[in-house]
Chain A
Amino acid sequence: MRSPGFWGGRAPRKLQPSEQPTEGSDSMKLLCALVGILVASMCAGQGLVAKKAWTPPRTADGQPDLQGVWTNATITPLERPADLAGKAFFTPGEAAAYEKRVVENANVDRRRSDISADVGLAYNEAWWDRGTHVVKTLRTSLIVDPADGKLPALTADGERRAAGLAEQRRLHPADGPENRSLAERCILWGTAGPPMMPGPYNDNYQIFQAPGYVAIVVEMIHDVRIIPLDARPHLPSNVRQWLGDSRGHWEGNTLVVETTNFTGKTRFRGASENMRLTERFTRTDPDTILYEYTVKDPATWTKPWTAQVTMAKSNSRVYEYACHEGNYAMTGILTGARAGENNSAKAATK
């Protein structure tokens, strides 16, 4: 059992200097604390803020305070791009250049002679809100483990399942609503997960805390993750839920949430219903929550993998996203597919 550390958080792997230090022995901890405070007090005098010295305020019942409206929009991809292989971090200058390039690219004209392709590529940043910044840690991928920033290899079963799903999608793109994505069906959005991943827009969350509970309102699609902090057991294993079943506890200043009871229908990157997710929320400064998660699904990946996203404080509010109530998309997609088949059938009989 790890003892709550002054810095909070648990670091299962070797950390870079820019990140939080590992837990060492108590005397080392003491020394680091001393040094940190000395540095902090000196830096503070020069107008710089050393994040490592920041302690989150507490809620009335003593929980580190994570409350507020947060956004995890970022242009950092889940996996490290091929052209950045071997490069785990940007320098600040490289990050700025990358951001500039990505943002420009998102708004560039993409005309095509084929009408379908032309329309398909017409969406620019007026339609999206993917963010304009890389993550605060300046990593080149959200994945921090494996070290190459890529998802670990799939198991044979994982590959088979993934291939099967891809084939299904190819053969039956729109036979019925079940063939469409969960977002198009207005059942589940990527930002809800869990894990809670940035999506095309509205990557917004509002966190509330009351004695014994942390509640996360996910704007898309008004999902509320209510996480009890007592030691109650998970739901029975025959009960499976889209967002799984979460249980939380504090380790120092880090909220650790364990989630099981997934359905296997969420197909998070191909995961099975036996996926086990561990999330860690640490408020590293007034405007930042470091959100880290580890996925364990031996049926799908050859080893667990871990990713980090930084969540930034937002001045905005969470709006109501009445997805299903306004879901013209589904009707349009299906009737369009049926019309297409009709046209093909008519053409065939000519």
Chain B
Amino acid sequence: MIAAASVAAMLSVTTLPAVAQATISRGPRTADGKPNLNGIWQVLTEANWDLQGHAAAAGPMVPLGAIGAMPPGQGVVEGEEIPYKSEALVTKKANFADRLKLDPEVKCYLPGVPRATYMPFPFQIVQTPKFILISYEYANAARTIYMEDPGPAPVDSWMGQSVGHWEGDTLVVDATGFNDQSWFDRAGDFHSDALHVVERYTLHGPDMLMYEATIEDKNVFTRPWKISMPIYRRQEKNVQLMEFKCVEFVEELMYGQYRKKPAKQ
């Protein structure tokens, strides 16, 4: 009896279905019935330069010429203007004036949320039922979206803690637990550690996500405000994220003044 059962068990084990190795699914639904957000995505707006509508402008570094110039943007803010408290607007303007020194992106610091979404670099979504991982090419920033609420964030961080759930076919991500170090763009738009971001990702067809983020920070803004933009699927053959480990590229900038000087002759 045991032998027969063992043979049966063994047979069933050796006839397991072949592992699906090569299928990078583009189907509209994952196996657990959710919209399939897997893949490599990138935003095409100029939001990272300035969330608000802006004309083109010269950049802060003359030697970079047109390469360092700000491209124009129609803006991604609903209602066009970010509703700063008056004293916070003073800070924003000061940030902008001194952005070469103050923008954390210059130093290859983690971009925070939602800036990571609209950096001019791709990101990859790896979607599982319990976690959705977003791996950003920029500075290998990463965030794990907990699909089961783990409770309040145990500690503040640059990328915050993200908790997600599905509302119909929209992935809603609630992010808290931020420090006050990141900016929203290169124009000096900033927040405090009271930042609270709610994102919505909705597939429109297989190759485009509509993205919205509602931003709330009682220390900085008079009310919550919203940005929105499409995110497009990168469709090059064999597309993959590559490394952008920019820490190495900013060492001269950040530590060059501490270099040993060549000995005087």
Indicate if A touches B (C-beta under 8 A): yes
Q: List the interface of chain A (C-beta within 8 A of B).
A: 4, 6, 30, 33-34, 37-38, 41, 55, 59-64, 67, 172, 174-178, 185-188, 206, 208-213, 215, 217, 221-224, 226, 228-233, 235, 239, 241-243, 249-250, 317-320, 322, 324-325, 330-331, 334-335, 337-338, 341
A187 partner, pick from B30, B131, B248, B254, beta carbons under 8 A: B248
> Which positions in B face A, CB cutoff 8 Å?
2-3, 5-7, 9-10, 13-14, 17-25, 30-32, 38, 104, 107-110, 124, 126-131, 133, 135, 140-142, 144, 150, 154-155, 157-159, 181, 238, 240-243, 245, 247-248, 251, 254-256, 258-260
Known: A34-B6, A228-B24. A241 touches B243 (CB 8 A): yes
**Distance A4 CA – B32 CA, assembled complex (angstroms):** 27
A233 vs B239: C-alpha distance when bound (angstroms): 11
Q: Which residue of B lies closest to A230 (CB)?
A: B22
Q: Are B2 and A210 interface neighbours, CB within 8 A?
A: no
Taking a contact as CB atoms under 8 Å apart, the answer to whether B20 and A38 are in contact is no
Contacts A186-B247, A320-B157, A334-B255; is A61 near B31 (CB within 8 Å)? Answer: yes
CA distance A177 to B23 in the complex (A): 43
> For B14, B38, B159, B242, which residue has the most chain A Cβ atoms within 10 angstroms?
B14
Return 18 A-B CB contacts under 8 Å, by A number: A4-B19, A6-B10, A33-B10, A38-B3, A41-B6, A60-B30, A62-B19, A62-B20, A175-B260, A210-B25, A211-B25, A212-B25, A223-B140, A226-B126, A241-B243, A250-B21, A318-B144, A325-B104
Q: How far is the CA of A206 from the CA of B146 in the complex (A)?
A: 12
Give Cα A242–Cα B7 distance, bound, in whole angstroms: 48
Which chain B positions have C-beta within 8 A of A172?
260
Excluding A34-B6, A55-B13, A174-B260, 11 further A-B contacts by CB distance (< 8 Å) are A33-B13, A34-B7, A38-B3, A61-B20, A62-B19, A63-B20, A212-B21, A228-B24, A322-B110, A324-B107, A330-B255
Given the known A-B contacts A62-B19, A226-B126, A325-B109, are A239 and B247 also in contact in the complex, defined by CB atoms under 8 Å?
Answer: no
Q: Are A177 and B255 in contact (CB-based, < 8 A)? A: yes
Are B3 and A212 touching (Cβ within 8 A)? no
Q: Given A210-B126, A226-B135, A241-B242, A334 and B258 touching (CB < 8 A)?
A: yes
Among B32, B256, B258, chain A packs the most CB atoms within 10 A around the CB of B258
The distance in angstroms between the C-alpha atoms of A37 and B12, with both chains bound, is 13
Q: Which residues of B sit under 8 angstroms from A230, Cβ to Cβ?
A: 21-22, 24
Quick check: A319 and B17 within 8 Å, CB to CB?
no
- B19 contacts which chain A residues (CB < 8 A)? 4, 62-64, 250
Chain A residue nearest to B124 in the complex (CB): A226
In the complex the two chains form, is B10's CB within 8 Å of A30's CB? yes
Shortest C-beta distance, B10 to chain A (Å), equals 5
A232 CA to B258 CA, complexed, in Å: 44
Q: Which residues of B contact A63 (CB under 8 A)?
A: 19-20
Q: Chain B nearest CB: distance from A252 CB in Å?
A: 8
Q: How far is the CA of A221 from the CA of B141 in the complex (A)?
A: 9
Bound Cα distance A222, B139 (Å): 9
Q: In the complex the two chains form, is B144's CB within 8 Å of A206's CB?
A: yes
**CA distance in complex: A101, B41 (Å):** 51
Q: Which residues of B contact A64 (CB under 8 A)?
A: 19
Question: B240 CB to closest chain A CB, in angstroms?
Answer: 7
Cα distance, A330 to B182, chains bound together (Å): 21
User: Could you say which of B3, B9, B140, B241 has the most chain A C-beta atoms within 10 Å of its C-beta?
Assistant: B140
Q: From A334, which residue of chain B is reached at the shortest CB distance?
A: B258
B3: chain A residues at CB < 8 Å are: 34, 38
- Bound complex: CA A226 to CA B13 (Å): 29
CB of A70, distance to nearest CB on chain B (Å): 14
Query: How far apart sit A74 and B129, CA to CA, in the bound complex (Å)?
Result: 31
A61-B23, A211-B38, A229-B22 as given contacts; A187 in contact with B245, CB under 8 Å? yes
Q: In the docked arrangement, what's the CA distance between A232 and B23, Å? A: 12
CA of A318 to CA of B110, assembled, Å: 17
Residue pair A337, B260 in contact (C-beta under 8 Å): yes
Do the beta carbons of A208 and B255 come within 8 Å of each other?
no
- Within the complex, the shortest CB–CB distance from A44 to chain B, in Å, comes to 12
Complex: A217 Cα to B104 Cα, angstroms: 23
Contact, CB under 8 Å: B25 / A61 = yes
